[in-house]
Amino acid sequence: YFLKINNSTCFRYIELSNGLKALLISDLTQSESNREPVAKEEEDSGEEEDGDSESTNEDSNCVNKCSEGVKKNCRSEKQSAAALCISVGSFSDPADLPGLAHFLEHMVFMGSEKYPAENGFDAFLKKHGGSDNASTDCERTIFKFDVQRKYLREALDRWVQFFIGPLMIPDAVDREVEAVDSEYQMAQPLDSNRKEMLFGGLAKAGHPMSKFFWGNAQTLKNEPREKNIDTYERLREFWRRYYSAHYMTLAVQSKETLDNLEEWVRAICIKIPNNGQPRADFSDLQDPFDTPDFNKLYRVVPVRKIHALTISWALPPQDKHYRVKPLHYISWLIGHEGAGSVLSLLRKKCWALALFGGNSESGFDQNTTYSIFSVSITLSDEGFQNFFQVIHIVFQYLKMLQSVGPQQRIYEEIQKIEANEFHYQEQMEPIEFVANICENMQLFPKEDFLRGDQLMFEYNPEVISAPLTLLTPATANILLLSPEHDGRCPLNEKWFGTQYSVEGNPPPQRIWEKCGFVFRDPPVITHLNKFIYINLKLMFIIIIKLILKFYAVLVKILKKRIILVLFDLFVNILAHNLAEPAYDADVAQLEYMLFPGDHGLFIRLKGFNHKLPLLLNLIVDHLANFSTAPNVFSMYIEQLKKTYYIILIKPDRLGRDVRLQILEHHRWSVMQKYEAIMADLGVTDLMDFVNRFKAELFVEGLIQGNFTSYIVNVLRYIIMSPPAEPPVLFRVVELPQTHHLCKVQSLNKADANSEVTVYYQTGLKNLREHTLMELLVMHMEEPCFDFLRTKETLGYQVYPSCRNTSGVLGFSVTVETQATKFSTDFVEGKIEAFLVSFGEKMVNLSDEAFQTQVTALIKLKECEDTQLGEEVDRNWFEVVTQQYVFDRLNKEIEVLKNVTKDELVSFFMEHRHASSRKLSIHVCYLFDTERKTSSYGDVSELIFLPASPVLAKASRITDIRAFTSSLNLHPYHKILQ
């Protein structure tokens, strides 16, 4: 055994004669030993792409897992999983075929010599509760899948055939190019991708960083044909050259014995060919950014209306220093948010909302040719006006760090924090765990496969000082994003069309010296003293939901959309007020999240139980004593405008907003909130709202895990009993028995993507029919992908969904497509054609295929929770919707055990007639035939579009309020039995 943990999880490392290296993981843990509870990470609404938040009313996870109360009735079994990493990526793309590595990652899945069905592997996985995915990075490509344990060996054999004998037939090549092109077009409107492409373009000619990694129809189909390049043959050549066993590392995890796993891997994977050629090596290349073009100030027009500053340095490769992790030490100090930090000073000046400093330690940020260190700051409007002073502050902090040098005291505290996080970390889903491990196997010696990416092993001041001394103004690249640059940037990046301009940086010495020493010492590090936690094996999560006391009051408030804006402002500013005092708790692994939901404030905490009450008390105190300064209020008014704008310019988010505005009575749309925030609001308005909110407050909560009576006492401090049960659901309209179409124009001038969602409303149904809907959608997933994406190539994202909209059931099919290729009306016609073909398939479904899918869904519901957070999220949904069916999974399993094929087919056919309650939502990109005066569109009103003759029979919705005002409303409904 390579390693044994708790006498239940065993590891074995083997090397096959063809050069493939494998780590076998026998996970024999039972559910009782599986209780390290950590919830999923929450989305950061400040710096990430959309900034919106989750809904508790609709689209919850339908394929739930077992609650603790019914574990004894379930077979505690995890999914089995495997992942393979190949040490080749986009750096190896040939110069005349940009994106070939990414394209090959797509193509190997299109059938094999042994299993020639084009979509056969996906179909096999869907039948047995599995999934798969793949990704291409600069120097590595990763493939992964999971499946029920019983079918692991067969799945492994089918999967490995892609590396033994993929078909890659010419017809599939031509079609899959369109999927790659759709993926590229979906990536275009994301600022993170645009920054990366612009940054890569600064590399020296001939360096692989300057390549176009994504690939599209132009580089993989059109230009090759013009140049008589045989893309099909070049794909096979690339596969033969790089998809070689000696480049591969494999990780397999299952509740199988190690002997069984080894037998299977040796029997199947030994057939992967080894071409014997030396491994691709780019480490001898010089610094790609050692060029005059790098050390400049670049002004860039973003897609989102944000101000952002990124200061970057290209450093020598740091992967060999993984035991010291010098960039992690530096980034920990740069990214500190407590007293004495860069962000603390910028927040006090109201110049910044967020700061990230560091390196992701993979891919674009770190490879064998260089490592990038970046400081990225989300600026306020005032911060943008003073961005040079912001740069000065960052440089002065770096100058201070260089002056005092590395500090062993600080390093050892970070080391201790990382060690605690490693030893008491949450369990990962098997598919993610094996994907992480197989990549680690490419980077670290075998004794560090499990820990090399997480632990800091040894303090070495010389190793830390080497990159730290290079972080100077003279070697920095400065990237400034702002909508203020619109119309002022004459240059365009080749692939994503990003508008930018270039100017020389101010004299480096002025930046270095101008402000003197703003910082004289690193921040005082006291996390382990103030929020020290004891080494308990068990952790716990506490979730509290705060909502208004009376639903009648809530309805009254919701009639004033300005109140919802004030509520969003309140939560954002409360989080701002907490950021610095709660930061010590955050780095000591006590986490919290504040979230403005549809009906109230959500507070979520997780971490070790020893000091979590301190954090809870801190949050409650700030809530009870809430106040804000005028400059902070103004900063968040402007930021919230940007947040609403970011949501509205995304076709999928706009489509969801329109659909729910039609379906849910009294829901105010994001667009209406955007209009409301343009009103003249002041601090007095906010404080009046907050005082009313606190006066009408009651608490409903869920505590789960290793909690103590002290925590319950803390809760009693803030809980008030409601006089009556307040409904938390919206009332949902009953759609007419005909087809209605709401077709609106996309609000993003820079995004050529469109979206079509076709929704069928079922109505008020019970638990049995909800379970039938889950089963129906599960049957639909693979045929939907095969028909709409693989064969029709309509877009990269196509999927069916089970819809539970405030207790009203339905299902939908969504296609995210490109206006450059298809009209939304054409796409809807193809969705309808798919549903017709799917209906025929269901009628002819064999009893065996039906029962296989039923068994797969039962197994998913029986599958044990990897983290306590999964169980908490499931239970919390019951609490927040006030349904309280905590044994729902057990009830659904019992339904599945006696459901019949005829019942399922009849259930689907209810939707397939002229009187179906059908609603189509189209978000359409329209090409601007006139010269653009601005990159930004107006998001203050919906523009309704006419349908083509293809959909002439559909009734158009051109005024949502007028349409819904005449419709009946379903009563409040909960799916209880």
Spell out the residues 6+ positions from residue 487 whose beta carbon is closer than 8 angstroms to its own.
Answer: 933, 934
Longest pairwise C-alpha distance within the chain: 79
For residue 442, CA distances in Å to 415, 422, 806, 902 come to 24, 20, 47, 51
Active-site residue among 49, 54, 105, 664? 105
Task: Count Cα neighbours of 855 within 13 Å in the Cβ-side half-sphere.
Answer: 14
Nearest to 265 by CA among 592, 553, 577, 18: 18
Q: Quote the CA–CA distance of 211 and 286 in Å, as a whole number.
A: 16
Q: How far apart are CA 144 and CA 527, in angstroms?
A: 38
Nearest to 121 by CA among 79, 166, 175, 77: 166
| Tokens standing for residue 400 | 């201070």
Which of 969, 298, 359, 899 is closest to 665 using CA atoms?
969
Please report which helix (H) or strand (E) contains residue 647, including its range: helix 630-648
Give the Cα separation of 778 and 873 in Å (integer).
Answer: 22
Is the CB of residue 601 less than 8 Å from the CB of residue 548? Answer: no
Contacts of 297 (CB under 8 A, 6+ apart): 478, 480, 502, 503, 504, 505, 506
Structure tokens that stand for 179 in this block: 């999927």
User: Environment class of residue 741 by beta-carbon count within 10 Å: exposed (0-12), middle (13-18) or buried (19+)?
Assistant: buried
Q: Which tokens in the block code for residue 557?
A: 């408030």
How far apart (Å, rounded) are the C-alpha atoms in residues 436 and 379?
Answer: 33
Q: In whole angstroms, what is the distance from residue 182 CA to residue 102 CA?
A: 13
Q: Can you name the residues that pair with 664 across neighbouring β-strands?
A: 732
Which residues, in sequence order, are CB contacts of 446 under 8 Å at separation 6+?
A: 2, 13
What 3-state class would DSSP assign to 566?
Answer: helix
Q: Which of 117, 125, 50 is nearest to 80 (CA)?
A: 125
Contacts of 695 (CB under 8 A, 6+ apart): none
State yes or no: is 226 an active-site residue.
Answer: no
State the SS3 of 110-145: CCECCCCCCCHHHHHHHHCCCEEEEEECCCCEEEEE
Q: Which residues are catalytic?
A: 105
